[in-house]
Amino acid sequence: GLPVGIVGLPNVGKSTTFNALTKAQNAESANYPFCTIEPNKAVVPVPDPRLEELAKIVNPERIQHSTIDFVDIAGLVKGASKGEGLGNQFLSNIRETEMILHMVRCFEDGNITHVEGSIDPLRDIEIIESELIFADIQQLEKKIDRLARQAKTGDKKVRAQLEIAQELMKHLEEIKPVSTFEKRDDENFIQLDKELRFLSNKPIIYGANVDEEGLLEDNEYVQAVKKHAEEVGADVIKLCAKIEEELVQLEEDEAKEFLEELGIEESGLDKIIRTAFERLGLISYFTAGVKEVRAWTIHRGWKAPKAASVIHNDFEKGFIRAEVIAYEDFIEYGGEQGAKEAGKMRLEGKDYVVQDGDVMHFRFNV
Ligand code: GDP
């Protein structure tokens, strides 16, 4: 899948958050017998109350959620891009991710030291993000050298690439992330990004880790992070990692009660998972059979045959048509039969763009 990398300075709550995610994975792992458990990766179910609603109608043996992968990238510290603290290894791990969950410490606790000696989330963000920019500069320097050599033979395309790479370099040298570079729509830039997978171009969710008090009311640290995030177009989700670790171990109604006591509607971890899913451009369609009610993950915009291929490769090749009932219709008319009788089941061909929440049934040749 498309992994989200968890980064942040030491002692900000990364491991606690990752542990909570791992526990969320294990709570459902019986449903995923084929996925191997890796120590630094959590395959986490995406919360989706629609699955429970579908199950009420269909009464399946089991429910399967869409999942999203989180990878723990501990150890990113100041100087990582210079190779300090196994830095380069961590940076190349980040390169493999599609999105960054940047944990920042927004709680005070005299017993838990902060590597920089004080609580200051904006400074922390700057430290981490500068390392990402430095790493991008190193990559880009090498690329510019190569392009400069090739450009001597006079290829127009190479020269255009070199030009944009040099412009980007100027931008990075001002310690600005690739994500704010003006020419990000330029095809030469897109090609460059595809090849180098710039670290500072990845979408970011800030996980503002607070204590219990901070959950109810934004403290000054959270406010600062929110202001910064708005300026750079990132998401912020506030959570108390310690509480999340407890929450994932509770039964659903117990967890609900706990949340009510805390005075919040949704767990921060759930919000992070949902936000990451959406920001990656992912949606779910459903299959609703008596064996299982299941969500399948696709990219927004995928057509029916491609969407079918996530169930089985053969479904794409042999695709004939899809029977589609919108989620709302499926619920309103009490299931497939009712929806059919109400004329709410559509037959769709190979050009149909699958919508979030579609309840699908594929017809195909083997
Ligand atoms: P990491 O180094 O970023 O992985 O940080 P950890 O998750 O190991 O957390 C460092 C310390 O902070 C641990 O002692 C945690 O128990 C504590 N901690 C983590 N989250 C919270 C929180 O939300 N509130 C408080 N008070 N302590 C926390």
Taking 90 as the threshold, does the pLDDT of residue 32 lie above it? Answer: no
Is the CB of 207 within 6 Å of ligand 1? no
Distance 211 CA to ligand 1 centre (A): 10
pTM of the prediction? 0.90
Residue 316's pLDDT is what? 87
pLDDT band at 42 (very low <50, low <70, confident <90, very high): very high
Q: How far apart are CA 200 and CA 183, in angstroms?
A: 15
Residue 40's pLDDT is what? 87
Is the CB of 92 within 6 Å of ligand 1? no
Q: How far apart are CA 315 and CA 365, in angstroms?
A: 8
| Contact present, 296 and 284 (Cβ < 8 Å) | yes
Residue 351's pLDDT is what? 97
Question: Which residue from 137, 132, 232, 141 is spatially nearest to 180, judged by alpha carbons?
Answer: 232
Helix 14-28, helix 268-279: angle, nearest 10:
80
pLDDT band at 335 (very low <50, low <70, confident <90, very high): very high
Taking 70 as the threshold, does the pLDDT of residue 114 lie above it? Answer: yes
Is the CB of 85 within 6 Å of ligand 1? no
Taking 60 as the threshold, does the pLDDT of residue 33 lie above it? Answer: no
Cα–Cα distances (Å) from 324 to 250, 307, 312, 346, in that order, read 36, 13, 18, 5
Is the CB of 11 within 6 Å of ligand 1? yes
* Per-residue pLDDT tens over the stretch 350-366: 999 999 999 999 998 87
Distance 209 CA to ligand 1 centre (A): 9
- In this structure, which residue's CA is closest to atom 2 in ligand 1? 11
Pocket mutation for ligand 1, best pick of 21, 238, 242, 246 (most atoms within 8 Å of C-beta): 242
Pocket mutation for ligand 1, best pick of 17, 71, 112, 216 (most atoms within 8 Å of C-beta): 112
Binding-site residues from annotation for ATP: 11-16
Element (H, E) at 147: helix 121-151
What residues contact 330, with CB distance under 8 A and at least 6 apart? 54, 57, 288, 336, 339, 344, 359
Ligand 1 atom with minimal separation from the 17 CA: 7
Residue 117's pLDDT is what? 83
| Contact present, 4 and 97 (Cβ < 8 Å) | yes
| Contact present, 209 and 186 (Cβ < 8 Å) | no
Is the CB of 320 within 6 Å of ligand 1? no
Q: How far apart are CA 196 and CA 95, in angstroms?
A: 8
Residue 29's pLDDT is what? 60
Report domain extents, the chain: 301-364
| Contact present, 161 and 195 (Cβ < 8 Å) | no
| Mean pLDDT computed over 319-346 | 97
Range scoring the smallest mean pLDDT among 41-45, 226-230, 357-361 = 41-45
- In this structure, which residue's CA is closest to atom 24 in ligand 1? 211
Is the CB of 18 within 6 Å of ligand 1? no
Ligand 1 atom with minimal separation from the 109 CA: 26
Element (H, E) at 360: strand 359-364
Is the CB of 141 within 6 Å of ligand 1? no
Ligand 1 atom with minimal separation from the 10 CA: 2
Question: How is domain 301-364 classified at the CATH fold level?
Answer: Ubiquitin-like (UB roll) (3.10.20)
Share of the chain above pLDDT 90, in %: 75
* Per-residue pLDDT tens over the stretch 234-280: 999 999 999 999 999 998 899 999 999 988 889 999 999 999 999 99
pLDDT band at 288 (very low <50, low <70, confident <90, very high): very high
Distance 136 CA to ligand 1 centre (A): 29
Taking 60 as the threshold, does the pLDDT of residue 86 lie above it? Answer: no
Is the CB of 209 within 6 Å of ligand 1? yes
Is the CB of 10 within 6 Å of ligand 1? yes
Distance 138 CA to ligand 1 centre (A): 32
Residue 37's pLDDT is what? 60
pLDDT band at 151 (very low <50, low <70, confident <90, very high): confident
Is the CB of 241 within 6 Å of ligand 1? yes
ipTM of the complex: 0.92
Residue 154's pLDDT is what? 74
Taking 90 as the threshold, does the pLDDT of residue 31 lie above it? Answer: no
Is the CB of 221 within 6 Å of ligand 1? no
Kindly report the number of other CB atoms within 10 A of residue 286's CB atom.
23
| Mean pLDDT computed over 133-139 | 93
* Per-residue pLDDT tens over the stretch 188-225: 999 999 999 999 999 999 999 999 889 989 999 999 99
Taking 80 as the threshold, does the pLDDT of residue 338 lie above it? Answer: yes
Chain centre to alpha carbon of residue 152: 41
